[in-house]
A and B are shown apart, each in its own frame.
Chain A
Amino acid sequence: MSILVIAEHDNASLKGATLSTITAAQAIGGDIEVLVAGAGCQAVADEAAKVTGVSKVLLADNAAYEHQLPEAVAPLIAELGKNYSHVLAPATTTGKNVMPRAAALLDVAQISDITQVESADTFVRPIYAGNAMATVQSEDAVKVITVRTTAFDEAGAEGSAAIEACDFVAEQSIASFVSEQLSKSERPELISASIVISGGRGMQNGENFALLEKVADKLGAAIGASRAAVDAGFVPNDMQVGQTGKIVAPDLYVAVGISGAIQHLAGMKDSKVIVAINKDEEAPIFQVADYGLVADLFKVMPELEAAL
């Protein structure tokens, strides 16, 4: 068996999501090669070559791949992918965007968001917002898979693989990049932070998120939000934790003013320790919390900041 892992990166550095995906590849077993497609991304390839378990890095360095447009990257993945038994990518917005397109070009199914590898052709994945776990088996010649990164540890950095240039380019003129607005934050990334503090509708407005920020500063935590808080315009969409937003599983998840809809729980219930702070003692969030504090968050958050 041979596995191709699609690297997630920003042309400058390799994302942790790729390391988790490589661990999933190791669970399948076989030769693991990594594709780094981007522009001016040699440094990413160098980093990928050092990851434990990687036997080769393919570097497709071309302006066409700069913004990871699926119209350009999917044909590359399909062209290379037909020579592998498995093609894996992290289930990030980049992976979710490009991988189904590559799978369709290969005329195979995609297995989304796997949380467990049972064997080389059998995988476990959540359905119904994680309220059921399906075990699925694929008979496709090439198994195209996206990996839920919180379910796999990050691979180490004890490798020394060779880097090989790949000059395949599928010219396309149907899609072009216009612009990008990326949130700037000094805090750890939401999906990989070991502590996450999230606010919900109970925060009442965006300014009140400052209460969470002060606590997050003390703990080195990332800040998330429920859909209600994002829909209300308190905070930007990239902070949404939930079924269709970001899936997180930190050591500590603190839910503040979040009622705990099924869709929110789907994004955080695999956290190691969950704390819920809500003045409504009937809030469903308390059913999954290890520690619940029934109290007014506006009184409690300053106290918490002072106590840390």
Chain B
Amino acid sequence: MKVLVAIKRVVDANVKVRVKADGTGVDLTNAKMAINPFCEIAVEEAIRLKEAGTADEVIAVSIGPQSAQEQIRTALALGSDRGILVQTEDQVEPLAVAKVLKAIVEKEGIDLVILGKQSIDTDNNQVGQMLAALCNMPQGTFACKAEIKDGKIEVTREIDGGEQTVQLSLPAVVTTDLRLNEPRYASLPNIMKAKKKPIDTMTAADLGVDMASKLKTLSVAPPAERSAGVIVESVEELVNKLKTEAKVI
């Protein structure tokens, strides 16, 4: 079985970003970048399938700038076999990402695609579902458990009311939620080995995909700030303020 993992280079989860003064976006100058946390979980899941003998090959793909090679290298250090970088300097919308991934799925003959459910920068939560639609594959989104049996994959999903389990035929798309697994750290020998693993670089045009989008970002603004509150000294004072000042209880 051939597994494709899609990863995204994003700002580190611990960085609090600030909006640029000119309102064109957020300021990421010198910000620490990393693999999107949900994508890291996707990589881990794919590697576990390989270790279990279910997957023969794990390919890590990223769509982004030249520097996204760093995140592909991390995925290789964690155990992926090879990487693909679809290079672009533009902000790419989810539908275009899904179209690029579809082209790779077809070119490589992929049986299972694992992606993060959401990237922590644009917070869209769309690519996996769109890819599944374009490939006419079933989708197991927000997965907290995934098990391959009898040529199918059973996915337990985190939903608003609890959990739902679905059975999907392969090829399929799975998107990860936080509780699917706990990603490992790359060991030093594996980081060294990863430097020798191949990364193919190409463009969307090479894959015959038009990445134009009809969605434009007009401006980016900071959110409304909350004004600082007060520290109360006791439960009695707290209850009193909630009753008489805030009037919420």
Contact = CB atoms under 8 A, between A and B. Distances in A.
Given A109-B94, A291-B242, A300 B235 contact: yes
Given A104-B98, A140-B214, A128 B246 contact: no
Interface residues of B, number: 83
Contacts of A94: 159-160
Contacts of A107: 95
A108 to B, nearest CB: 7
B228 A287 contact: yes
Interface stretch (B47-55, B61-69, B123-131, B188-196): B123-131
Interface string A119-137: 0001000111111111111
A138 B214 contact: yes
Interface in B69-89: none
B139 A101 contact: yes
Given A108-B95, A263-B13, A292-B232, A135 B218 contact: yes
Interface of B is mostly: mixed
A128 B163 contact: no
Interface in A250-271: 251-252, 262-263, 269
Contacts of B162: 180-183, 236, 238
Nearest to A140: B214
B141 A304 contact: no
Nearest to A15: B160
Interface of A is mostly: mixed
B98 to A, nearest CB: 6
Interface in A99-152: 99-105, 107-113, 122, 126-140
Contacts, number: 258
Interface in B85-140: 93-95, 98, 117-118, 120-134, 136-139
A227 interface: yes
Given A134-B220, A219-B249, A304-B239, A101 B130 contact: yes
Interface residues of A, number: 88
Contacts of A262: 13-14, 16
Given A273-B248, A293-B235, A109 B214 contact: yes
A182 B231 CA distance: 39
A291 B158 contact: no
A148 B16 CA distance: 22
Given A109-B94, A191-B160, 20 more contacts: A70-B139, A94-B160, A96-B129, A98-B129, A108-B95, A108-B214, A110-B95, A128-B123, A129-B120, A130-B223, A132-B220, A132-B223, A136-B215, A136-B217, A176-B166, A238-B159, A244-B118, A293-B235, A304-B238, A308-B239
15 contacts: A70-B132, A70-B141, A93-B142, A97-B157, A104-B98, A108-B95, A132-B19, A135-B217, A139-B216, A176-B166, A177-B167, A231-B178, A236-B162, A252-B242, A304-B235
The 6 residue pairs across chains A and B that have the minimum distance between CB atoms: A100-B129, A104-B133, A104-B130, A175-B138, A100-B126, A290-B229
